[in-house]
Structure 1
Amino acid sequence: SSLTQAISTLRKMLKDSTKSPEFVKTVPKRGYQLICSVERINPLLSDSTNNVNDAASEALDQEELDNEIRNDAVQTPSSEIGRDVVHNAGTSTKMAASQRNWLIKGLFLLAALLPLCVVLLTNPSESKFRLLENVNGVEVLTPLNHPPLQAWMPSIRQCVNKYAETHTGDSAPVK
């Protein structure tokens, strides 16, 4: 369509990318949105006779421009598309990307340091033991939450006695 061609020409003249636009943004299934700031500039005129002629021609130009905008522009409801004017869109997108990069790097650093801090800074709780039996001066201990071992006591006594026989001196069992 002619509107698409006009927008394409405008983008070429402004060197505006479609992937990261600074001036005209494509709104899917709606049309286009101007995302840059706009200022009206009135040039200074040197003589007053030109002022009257220029004012009249400027009024006509403005009226033609308004009519053209009404005819060619795609209307979009303000509830669907924000009407905020973005000042210096290129700079703000670069700053946002830079801030986003720092945020991502910070999150990765936090994700790496958090498990490391947990491992290094927390002490495991000490297990509490109860005395199961004293075999030839060797204490046989079992954790408090362990099931009863009364059925295993003959095997445990045999193992402790055999270990005590083979390991004497400094390597003799104590607990």
Structure 2
Amino acid sequence: RCFEVDDSSLTQAISTLRKMLKDSTKSPEFVKTVPKRGYQLICSVERMSTPTSEPNAELEDVDAEESTLENVTEEIQAQPQVEDSVSTDPSSVSGNATPLSAAKVSSKNNWFTRAILFVAVLLPIIVFTLTKPAESQFRQIAEFSGVPVMTPANHPQLMQWMPSIEQCVARYVENHTNDVMPVKVIA
């Protein structure tokens, strides 16, 4: 049998393998990406035998697996870019492998996360306490029923709105005779 392997199916297979092994692309423990070359297995591999009741069946399974592996190996060796990227020398595999323990990775991530959260909480507090909002300057443009009407100094003229503002203030004063009078109106 022959298996045709293209880049997308190889990428998908490696992605699936990494998901199953819970292997990170940032700090891989099993499969390392070699840029513009391919992938490299960086973990140690041991063959495990499974006990079966029929020794002959086990031998047949092993023979079938070996023949399939030989076919796949020949297929892979036919592709030069993949052949260069896969190292079968055991000394190079163990020399390149520097897997971090899960505790070390978790410890580094935990420290980094706490530092980011601390900065995220501290930064708004610092900005809030060190900056003072600019106070707006107001100018009085009119007075209706004893209530001054103010407008920000940088605001455009409101002369066309004066009748509406006067009507609003007069109605408020009429309808709220028992309430406290407004101190000022900002328009």
Fold shared per TM-score above 0.5: no
Q: TM-score range by the shorter chain?
A: 0.3 to 0.5
Which structure is higher in RCO with an 8 Å CA cutoff and minimum separation 6?
Answer: 2
What TM-score results when the alignment is normalised by the length of structure 2? 0.41
TM-score, with structure 1 as normaliser: 0.44
